[in-house]
Structure 1
Amino acid sequence: MLPKIPPPHRDDVLLAVASVLTGLLLWSLGVHSTGYRHFLPDWAALVPLLVLGSLELVRRTLANLTLTVGTLGVIADQFTVGNLATVVIFTDLMYAAVVYGKPAMARRLPVGTGLFTVVVTVAALAWLRTPQALLIGIVAGIVSFAPALTGATLRNHREAAGAARLRAEQTALLAEMDRTQAVAGERARMARELHDMVANHLSAIAIHSTAALSIDSPATSREALGVIRENSVQGLAEMRRLIGLLRDAGAGQEAVAVPSLDGLDALVGQARTNGAASGLDFVLDDARTDGPAPPAPVELAAYRIVQESLTNALKHAAPGTVAVRVAHENDGMLLTVGVDSPYGERSGPRAPGSGAGLIGMRERTELLGGTFTAGPAGPVWRVRAVLPAEEKAVRE
């Protein structure tokens, strides 16, 4: 089955009509390009004209075919009285073959027509041996090489413009992908910060409010309300800190301190207060060696991992001692964080949990290129994170 040929372009129809009408006008006026030849009757010059004029209709869709037939037509025109319009139409078919034809033909035609022009010029000079023979070469160049070179130049410009447009679209797509990933990463970071900052205080509030409601003792209720108030105030302060981080730095917002490992004593002390009513005790073993402090992202990640582990212990740990240990390993190249919580059978958690805490701790660790493990180890639930304590640590 032959491929379906699309209808001719409107400009090609106008071009074909104008070319044929111009050729008919020249013929009717007796204007011929090779009037000294009388191999055929005068009307025979109209045949190549009509053939090449009709080829203008498919110059875009059948560029290779139109050039082949057009070449035969312009050669046939030389055996008649000739028509200047036929030659002009051929130059347009040569141009269209380069612009709309296959890439291989578009590359070969300028070279081939250039060589053809040189050969015709040299042959004319050798045959006629007069300077006027150069005119034959000039005409050959105007009819063949000039339109091929013009078409090649236009096609190269179009291809360059298309490639530039494609690169711009790809760049825009990559930029959009980077923006989407950046937004997703920032949302994940904000979710971790919000969870780690607020979950500890809300868990303590839930635990002590439950104790105040279940134990009918004024002293117990008063103690629980004190812990609830303290955690509410601290939770509000943490929320204000997060809001300060989200504000535009150019709006005059003062820098907000980022939690560091120096605040572990206070964090463990607060957990000790919150867990006293549940039979939990909290101890800290800070075995870090003297030396430069880890990068801020590493310190923040370590702090948040301890904070979330203490929150989980308040919710799920059996009565006993929760041990927190922070130390340097591998000559200070690594920072290890470990939290061991009593692990045993309980009727249920003291406060509801979603499991997002373990996910957040793992994400924090992996973003910095560290390793994270959490799970039961005999009588304890062990959380362990190993973080790179060097300047090249990945920043959040």
Structure 2
Amino acid sequence: MTPAETTSRWRARAHVEPLGRSARVWLLVLVFAVLVADSVVRAVSPSDQSVLRAALGTFLTLSAGLFAWRPLVATAMLSFGIVAATAVGGTIESLIAGATVLGLVAVTCSGAVVTAYSGVIVACLITELIRSPSGLDAGGAAVIALVALTSYVVGVGVREQRERSRSLARRLHADSEALQNQLKAERRRIADELHDIVAHELTIVAMHARVLDRTTDPEVRHRSQKAITDASTQALADIRRMLGVARDQPSDDDPSSPLTQSFESALATTTRDLEDAGISVHVDRPADLELSRSVAVALAHVVRESSVNVLKHATGARTVTISLSVQGEGVVLTVHDDSPPARSAGLPPSGYGLRRMEERLRALAGSLRAERRDDGWWVVASLPTQR
């Protein structure tokens, strides 16, 4: 443990509240001024004050200056100085100084330390009242008590104000962090939506635009033109909705959002898009399988992203098989295409879709495996049935 950590833990146990930088500067300036003034007064004015009492006065002043660095040490030294001054005959000035400094003790030290220090002042005050030669009467004692009470009230008020300021700063920091987290979540949501638009609808547009360049078959051209029109219309609708997300976050139950699309809807869309591209689709899934909403949405993402990857990177694929099965306590979704190796549609890969699928599945205690084998690409997603 470093010395700084040791000091921090010691302060926490002792409930020490060090003075701020500006307060330390003002305290040291005041202490220096008192020392100078005291020296000047003793130099220009004859006094019968003993050397010991003068030394004790200087000791008390210097002890007050220690509050700039070591409040507990300063309190202990002040207590010793006041007791010593009382023991050697006492001066009213030492009690006044001790009462004035009570506010500093209240600002920097714990309640127990303040109580102990106050007890020292009260004991010395009673001693001075009992000691007849001291010249301290009930009126003087009342003045010292009033100074101590005023100093204590001011000190407690300053400490409470510091605590309120720190509490407010902590709340502002927590609110700022919460806002930043909300902004990050919103950015990620928009990024996900943008990826779905670009990766799905615009991939379909690019693929069918290539088909139009390479075929003269009227039926094929009509089918590609319709696919381009549908995909472009859907992309525009998604972009408008995404702009709405940026202005005012929609409900997570928005059925038109790709982020919350049902598994059945994603399966139907995927089948249509792949078949429009001339790829045969075989679907195998249990008819009576009930999926929780979170699992269904995650599987819908896997189906959509896998179909986009087939269109972008699996040129030459003739068949895609989508299989959903129950295995133990979970479900396994398999998407397999029969594309040959080293064939690509030439569209730039990003890797974002696979990373986001892995993140979604991990959040639901699932897993994802995507790999090329001799017979084509395989995407296997596993999820617990109930999440």
TM-score scaled to structure 2, two decimals? 0.68
Displacement of 1:322: 0.8
Shift of 1:238: 3.1
What's the counterpart of residue 108 of structure 1? 116
Pairwise CA distance, 1:228: 2.0
Structure 1 counterpart of 2:262: 260
Structure 1: distance between partners of 2:144 and 2:120: 9
What amino acid does structure 2 have at the position aligned with 1:340?
H
- Of residues 365, 373, 383, the one that matches 2:369 is 373
Change over 3 Å in CA distance of 1:145–1:383 after alignment to 2: farther
1:358 equivalent to 2:354? Answer: yes
Deviation at 1:202, TM superposition (A): 1.2
Give distance in 1, aligned partners of 2:241 and 2:360. Answer: 19
Structure 1 88/114 Cα, relative in aligned 2: closer, same or farther at 3 Å?
closer
Q: Percent identity?
A: 20
**8 Å contact kept, 1:53–1:89:** no
Aligned in 2, Cα 1:325/1:336: closer, same or farther, shift over 3 Å?
A: same
Alignment partners' CA distance in 2, 1:70 and 1:116: 7
Query: Is the radius of gyration larger for structure 1 or structure 2?
Result: 1
Where in structure 2 are the equivalents of 1:42-53 lying within 5 Å? 43-45=47-49
Q: Which residue of 1 aligns with 2:310?
A: 313
Secondary structure, in 3 states, of the residue corresponding to 1:352?
A: coil
Aligned residue in 1 for 2:296:
299
Q: Which residue of 2 aligns with 1:213?
A: 213
CA contact (8 A) 2:99 2:151 kept: no
Counterpart amino acid of residue 192 in structure 2: R
Cα distance change, pair 8–227 in 1 and its aligned pair in 2 (3 A)? closer
Any stretches of 5+ residues in structure 2 without a counterpart?
A: 1-23, 68-73
Separation in 2, partners of 1:361, 1:281: 24
Partner secondary structure for residue 353 of structure 1: coil
Q: What root-mean-square deviation, in Å, do the aligned CA atoms of Structure 1 and Structure 2 show?
A: 4.6
Q: Secondary structure of the residue that 2:282 maps to in structure 1?
A: strand
Alignment match, 2:21: none
1:112-127 alignment, distance < 5 Å: 112-113=120-121
Return closer, same or farther for 1:342/1:361 CA change in 2, 3 Å cut-off: same
Partner of 2:105: 98
| Contact preservation (8 Å) 1:95, 1:147 | no
1:5-32 Cα distance to aligned partner (Å, 9 max, x none) = 97864555676789999x99xxx9xxxx
- Judge conservation of contact 2:106–2:159 (CA < 8 Å) in 1: no
Contact 1:95 1:148 in 2 (8 A): yes
- What TM-score comes out, normalization by structure 1 length? 0.67
Tell me how far 1:170 sits from its aligned partner. 2.9
For residue 48 of structure 2, give the secondary structure of its aligned residue in structure 1. helix
Aligned length: 345
Q: How far has the Cα of 1:58 moved from its partner?
A: 3.9
Which stretches in structure 1 are left out of the alignment for 5+ residues? 29-41
Report the Cα distance in structure 2 between the residues aligned to 1:67 and 1:110, rounded to whole angstroms.
Answer: 9
User: 1:62 matched to which residue of 2?
Assistant: 66
Deviation at 1:272, TM superposition (A): 2.7
